[in-house]
Amino acid sequence: MSIIDLERRLARIEAGRRIGAPTALLSDHPIGDTAGDLRADDALANWQRWTAQGKASITNGVLCLVGPELTAEEWAARFVTEH
């Protein structure tokens, strides 16, 4: 494979990458309350800062918000029920 072929492949890959603001929002936790709605609005308005800080990622025009990591105790309290 020559350098020309590699440059063509790179140009094709770069042409397929989406550049621009996200068009949808995805979150791994509910955002239906007032605080969640404000967080979502801030994330959409400042999506570049959120992605730079690692609070969100963008894939195919979808801004994916990542919630804070739960500790083992928090996870157990939230998801484990006694029988």
The predicted structure's pLDDT at residue 18 = 61
The predicted structure's pLDDT at residue 3 = 92
Helix, strand, coil % in the chain, rounded to nearest 5: 50, 15, 35
CA 67 to CA 74: how far, in whole Å? 13
What is the pTM assigned to this prediction?
0.57
**Strand arrangement, sheet containing 24-27:** 24-27, 62-65, 56-59
* Structure-model confidence comparison of residues 28 and 77, the more confident one: 77
The predicted structure's pLDDT at residue 78 = 81
Sole residue written with tokens 């083992």: 72
The predicted structure's pLDDT at residue 10 = 85
CA 32 to CA 4: how far, in whole Å? 51
pLDDT digits (tens, 9 = 90+) for 13-71: 777 666 678 888 888 776 766 666 788 888 888 888 988 888 888 888 888 888 777 88
SS3 22: coil
Q: Where are the domains of the chain?
A: 21-79
